[in-house]
């Protein structure tokens, strides 16, 4: 899966903000990378307080990105190239400018009043509960002067939470899924989806949880709602899928949101433990073991190193060598790897000076625009006709697309090689994972399917480590460094090698 942050991917109309036309222009490049599907962060009409995660109309395209015609063209071109398309579906909240909310807030008697979560203040005038919003450290309740009540928003005040306990809301949101499924999309990434289970079930939490209330919203109703969403998806001939963003106090619990084979919910449930792991052999080993355990058969995990909410892993780990080893790890894991556009170039975050900060939650750096060409500076060029909305990654000049396109030894070359190998190798695509005990800094696992066995070794340390004796007869299928044959030479620092057996 290849996540595109549309504002930052490619700019077709030269206004400095990426758009659908820009994506259409690069579909061949995405196909050449070797991914199976593209997920687009939200492209719907939005006041952009949270850059599209505040949706004002679920069934249209924001003019900054293009039109529904552009969308249809993009979908057709993706499908021609055998790429599937997932849209980002934001079910927990709308924009405060969505007509549903405008109607809801208009009066206590509005027929849509109950589409959102309204409560009276406490007798002392304080907010209805102690919940805090995820952004800006303010209460999750905003008083709406003229009715004397407050509405709930787990994110910005411009993102009021829908009340999924109301069947009309469920219906209306099902309609939004159908709108895109009827147009031919192949699935959805569902934003903070566990939150839809909370309904009006909103009471005081412990002080610790009140600061991050989304971690405390694992409710049976959420699972019920997801089962009905799954039935809707299953009724479509293209067999659409849904991957959900589920954040819970116990990370492993997110696995329960795939349901059971006879009562399925999400197809995939994100696990973000890999995003938060430090580059340390023991930590990486523990994380792999934990994720594989929580998502053991018949569940299937996801692997995420970067996305639009976290610093890029190239910046977190600090070097190309780390990022190359990480690519081998993520693309040989049991599970579906989610790549964040630009990681295949080894991009770092952008440096955003205080006067250019636009995100309410400090995430501008990882949303830096993609440098298509090497020529440019921090703010202009790199294939963008107009200076883009955010500064470029700090390594834009050395890590642009054009500087890597024809170089098999580049980061892009490595990603293409690993994706092609994965596609051609059943054990890598769908085999079991057999994790060996950690040996110093040497991480090692096998992927096994039928008679096929693939071994991956990763030297997570910064010193050379001996080549394992029992792997002297294996052959190199891919490597993060220069190695092309097994000759017993020690593994270099941060070297990762994928091995097969004749």
Give the residues across from 142 on adjacent strands.
151
Residue 47 is a binding residue for ligand GLC (CB under 6 A)? no
* Count of residues near ligand GLC by CB under 6 A: 9
Catalytic residue among 54, 191, 218, 441: 191
* 50 interacts with ligand GLC by CB under 6 A: yes
Q: In terms of CB distance, is 39 or 180 closer to ligand GLC?
A: 39
Contacts of the segment 418-424: beta carbons below 8 A, 24+ positions apart: 418/327, 418/328, 418/331, 418/332, 418/478, 418/498, 419/33, 419/34, 419/35, 419/331, 420/34, 421/477, 421/478, 421/498, 422/331, 422/332, 423/34
Exactly one of 5, 39, 53, 295 binds ligand GLC (CB under 6 A); that residue is 53
Of residues 29 and 253, the one with the C-beta less far from ligand GLC: 253
Nearest residue (CB) to ligand GLC, 246 versus 418: 246
Residue closer to ligand GLC by CB (options 87, 288) is 87
Using alpha carbons, select from 279, 335, 343, 275 the residue that is nearest to residue 309.
Answer: 275
Q: Which of 170, 191, 265, 294 binds ligand GLC (CB under 6 A)?
A: 191
CB of 265 to ligand GLC, least distance (A): 19
Distance CA 217, CA 198 (A): 6
Catalytic entry in 245, 294, 320, 344: 245
Instruction: Evaluate whether 468 touches 444 at the Cβ level (below 8 Å).
Output: yes
Helix (H) or strand (E) holding 142: strand 141-144
* Residue 161 interacting with ligand GLC (CB under 6 A): no
Nearer to ligand GLC, 30 or 192 (CB): 192
Interface with ligand GLC (CB under 6 A), residue from 1, 30, 152, 192: 192
Q: Of 138 and 420, which CB lies nearer to ligand GLC in the complex structure?
A: 138
Cα–Cα dist 173/491, whole Å: 53
Buried b (16+ CB within 10 A) or exposed e, 78-101: beeeebbbbbbbbbbbbbbbbebb
For residue 272, state whether it binds ligand GLC (rule: CB under 6 A): no
Interface with ligand GLC (CB under 6 A), residue from 114, 253, 309, 379 = 309
Give the strand pairing for 37-40 and 84-89: parallel
Q: Please confirm, yes or no, whether 245 is among the known catalytic residues.
A: yes
Cβ 159 to ligand GLC shortest distance, Å: 6
Q: Give the gyration radius of the chain's Cα atoms.
A: 23
Structural contact between residues 247 and 213, judged by C-beta atoms closer than 8 angstroms: no
Taking the complex as a whole, the smallest distance from the CB of residue 390 to ligand GLC amounts, in Å, to 15
Residue nearest to ligand GLC (CB): 53
Confirm or reject binding of residue 155 to ligand GLC (CB under 6 A).
Answer: yes
Look up residue 183 and give its two tokens. 């147009």
Residues assigned a catalytic role: 191, 245
Q: Give contact residues for ligand GLC (rule: CB under 6 A).
A: 50, 53, 90, 155, 191-192, 245, 308-309
């Amino acid at each position: 899966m290849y996540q595109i942050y549309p504002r930052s991917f490619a700019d077709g109309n030269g206004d400095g903000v990426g758009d659908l036309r820009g994506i259409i222009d690069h579909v061949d490049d995405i196909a050449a990378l070797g991914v199976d599907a593209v997920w687009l962060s939200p492209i719907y009409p939005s006041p952009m307080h949270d850059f599209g995660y505040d949706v004002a109309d679920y069934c249209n395209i924001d003019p900054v990105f293009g039109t529904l015609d552009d969308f249809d063209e993009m979908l057709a071109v993706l499908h021609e190239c055998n790429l599937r398309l997932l849209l980002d579906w934001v079910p927990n909240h709308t924009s405060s400018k969505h007509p549903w909310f405008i109607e809801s807030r208009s009066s206590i008697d509005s027929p849509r009043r109950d589409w959102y979560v309204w409560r009276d203040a406490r007798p002392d005038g304080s907010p209805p509960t102690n919940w805090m919003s995820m952004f800006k450290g303010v209460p999750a309740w905003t008083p709406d002067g003229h009715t004397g009540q407050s509405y709930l928003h787990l994110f910005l005040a411009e993102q009021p939470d829908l009340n999924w306990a109301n069947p009309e809301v469920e219906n209306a949101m099902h309609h939004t899924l159908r709108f895109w499924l009827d147009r031919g999309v192949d699935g959805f990434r569902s934003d903070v989806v566990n939150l839809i289970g909370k309904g009006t079930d909103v009471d005081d939490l412990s002080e610790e949880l009140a600061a991050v209330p989304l971690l405390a919203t694992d409710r049976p109703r959420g699972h019920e709602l997801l089962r009905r969403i799954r039935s809707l998806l299953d009724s479509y001939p293209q067999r659409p899928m849904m991957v959900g963003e589920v954040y819970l106090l116990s990370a492993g619990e997110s696995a329960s949101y795939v349901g059971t084979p006879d009562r399925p919910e999400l197809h995939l449930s994100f696990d973000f433990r890999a995003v938060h792991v430090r580059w340390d052999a023991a930590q990486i080993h523990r994380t792999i073991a934990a994720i594989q355990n929580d998502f053991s058969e018949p569940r299937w995990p996801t692997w995420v190193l970067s996305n639009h909410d976290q610093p890029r892993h190239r910046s977190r780990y600090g070097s190309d060598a780390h990022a190359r080893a990480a690519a081998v790890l993520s693309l040989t894991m049991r599970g579906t790897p989610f790549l964040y556009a630009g990681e295949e170039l080894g991009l770092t975050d952008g440096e955003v000076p205080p006067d250019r900060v636009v995100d309410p939650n400090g995430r501008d750096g990882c949303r830096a625009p993609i440098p298509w060409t090497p020529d440019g500076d921090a703010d202009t060029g790199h294939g963008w006709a107009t200076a883009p909305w955010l500064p470029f990654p700090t390594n834009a000049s050395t890590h642009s697309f054009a500087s890597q396109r024809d170089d098999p030894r580049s980061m892009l070359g490595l990603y293409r090689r690993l994706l092609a190998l994965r596609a051609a190798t059943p054990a890598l695509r769908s085999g079991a994972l057999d994790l060996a005990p950690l040996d110093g800094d040497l991480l090692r696992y096998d992927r096994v399917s039928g008679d096929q066995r693939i071994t991956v070794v990763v030297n997570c340390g910064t010193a050379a480590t001996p080549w394992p004796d029992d792997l002297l007869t294996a052959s190199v299928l891919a490597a993060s460094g220069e190695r092309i044959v097994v000759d017993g030479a020690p593994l270099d620092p941060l070297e990762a090698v994928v091995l097969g057996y004749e």
